[in-house]
Structure 1
C-alpha cells in the first residue's frame, strides 16, 4: 500500500529546465554553434559534473572565448525567462490531495538546498514537504538512489510504500534503483527523451488525480505488472 509521495523539483514542480536549455541554446547560437537535446538531455536531473556546456561550446567553436562574459550573458537570459515561471499544472492539487488523504510528502532534488527551498518558499509551498533532501545531503546525486533512500528514511517508509514523481530519465532511474514506484511527468524539454523503467507516464499532474494514479499503481502491482520502458 502506498503511504507516501516524493517529488523531484526542477522540471517537475517548477519547469526551470526548459528556460535553462533555451538559455544555453541561445548562447551557443551567439557563437554560431548548436546545442542539441540529445547532448543536453544526458545532464538533466543530475549534477553539474555530468556535462560542462562551456567546455562543449569551446570544442564546437574551436577557439577560446570569454567564458565569464558568456556565463553572465547566459545567466541574464535565463533569469529573465525564469522570472515568469509558474508551478506546473496539477502540483498544488497533488500536494493538497496528499495531505487530505494522510500521505507522507517528501522532496528529493539533485539541486542545492537554497535553490530548492527559495523557489518553494516563493511559491508558497515550502511547508507542504515534511522532508527535503538535496545535493548537500549525499555524495552522489541522481541517477544514484541515495537522495530517494534518504528521503524515504526521513519519512519512515520502505521503498515499496512510496511513489516518486519525476520528469527526467536520470531521476526516474534513481527512483527505480531505490525500489520505488515511479511516475514520469515530462516537461516541454524532457518529453522527447527516452526513459528507462517507470510505472506510469502522464503528460501533466492535471491530467489524472493523485489518488487515481495511486490506485492504478497499486492495481498494477497486485497483478504483477511490469514497469514500463519508453
Structure 2
C-alpha cells in the first residue's frame, strides 16, 4: 500500500535546471566557449562539484578568470530567465491529490536548504511537505540513497510503500537504491539523458494523475 510520496526539487518541482544550464551557456558563449550538455549534466541531480563550468571555461580559454564576477553575471542571467517560471505542470495537482489521499509528503534534494526553501516559498508550496531534507542533512547526496532513506525514516514509511518522483539519472539512481517506486519526469535538459532504471517514465505530471500512478504500481505488483 502506498503511504508516502517523495519529490526531488530542482528540475522536478520547478525547472531550475534548464535555466541554470542556459545561464551558464550564455556566460561561456560570451567568452567564445560552447558548453556541452553531456558535460554539464554530470552535476544535475547530484553534487555540483561533479562538473565545474567555471573551471571548464578557464581550461578552454587558457587563462585565469574572475570567478566571483562571473558568478554574479551568471546569477543575473538566471534570475532573468527564471522570473516567469512557476511549478512544472501537474506538480500542484499531485501535491493536492497526495493530501486528499492522506499520503505523507516528503522532499529529498541534493541542493542546499537556503536554495530549496526560498523557491518553495516563492511558489507557495512549502506547506505541503511533512519532511524536507537537503544537502546539509546527509553525508552523501544523490546518487547515494541517503537522502531518501533519511526522509523515509522521518516519515516512518518503508521504501516499498513510497513513490519517488525524479527528473535526473542521479536522482533516479538514489531512489532506486533506496528501493522506492521511482517515477521519472524528465525536463527539457534531462530528457536527453540515459536513465538506467525506473518504475515508469512520463513526459509531464499532466499525462497521468497521482491516482493513476498508484494504480499502475499496484497493477505491476500483482
TM range (shorter): over 0.9
Offset at residue 67 of structure 1 (A)? 2.2
Given the two structures, how large is their TM-score scaled by the length of structure 1? Answer: 0.94
| 1:168 maps to 2:164 | no
Q: Distance in 1 between matches of 2:221 and 2:183?
A: 13
**In the alignment, what sits opposite 1:225?**
none
Offset at residue 66 of structure 1 (A)? 2.3
Q: Distance in 2 between matches of 1:68 and 1:207?
A: 42
Q: Gaps spanning 5+ residues in structure 2: where?
A: none
State the aligned residue count. Answer: 222
Offset at residue 65 of structure 1 (A)? 2.4
Give the 4+ runs in structure 1 shifted more than 4 A.
Answer: none
Q: Gaps spanning 5+ residues in structure 1: where?
A: 223-230
Q: Distance in 2 between matches of 1:110 and 1:66?
A: 27
Q: Distance in 2 between matches of 1:68 and 1:96?
A: 41
Offset at residue 169 of structure 1 (A)? 0.4
| 1:99 maps to 2:112 | no
* SS of aligned partner of 1:13: coil
Calculate the aligned-residue CA RMSD, in Å: 0.9
Q: Distance in 2 between matches of 1:60 and 1:218?
A: 51
Deviation readout 1:24-64 (Å, 9 max, x if unpaired)? 11111111111111111111011222111110111111222
Offset at residue 9 of structure 1 (A)? 0.4
| 1:3 maps to 2:36 | no
**In the alignment, what sits opposite 2:188?**
188
**In the alignment, what sits opposite 1:87?**
87
Given the two structures, how large is their TM-score scaled by the length of structure 2? Answer: 0.97
* SS of aligned partner of 1:170: helix
Q: Distance in 2 between matches of 1:64 and 1:133?
A: 36
Q: Distance in 2 between matches of 1:73 and 1:63?
A: 19
Offset at residue 166 of structure 1 (A)? 0.2
Offset at residue 221 of structure 1 (A)? 2.3
Q: Pairwise mapping of residues 35-54 of structure 1 onto structure 2 (< 5 A)?
A: 35-54=35-54
Q: Pairwise mapping of residues 143-222 of structure 1 onto structure 2 (< 5 A)?
A: 143-222=143-222
